[in-house]
Amino acid sequence: MDADLIFANFTDADITKANLREATLNETIWINALVNKCEFGEGIGLSNQQRQDLLLGGVIFSSSKLD
């Protein structure tokens, strides 16, 4: 919860089903990351392109803390 993952490199990482809601994700790298069913909040710090790429990988974006 509330993880600060600024500059994290998830290249080739398997974070399937991880809960990253409320995480800060500025400057993160997602090359070949396995993110199926990974939960994100509003995607704090993600660029629009990163958000689109993650959605294609199966990420679930929740709109509130109560989702």
Q: Are 33 and 10 in contact (CB under 8 A)?
A: yes
**Which residues have C-beta within 8 Å of that of residue 3, sequence separation ≥ 6?**
20, 22, 23, 24
Q: What is the pTM of this model?
A: 0.81
pLDDT one-digit tens code per residue, 18-62: 999 889 999 999 999 999 999 998 768 999 999 999 999 999 988
Measure the CA–CA gap between 63 and 22, rounded to whole angstroms. 11
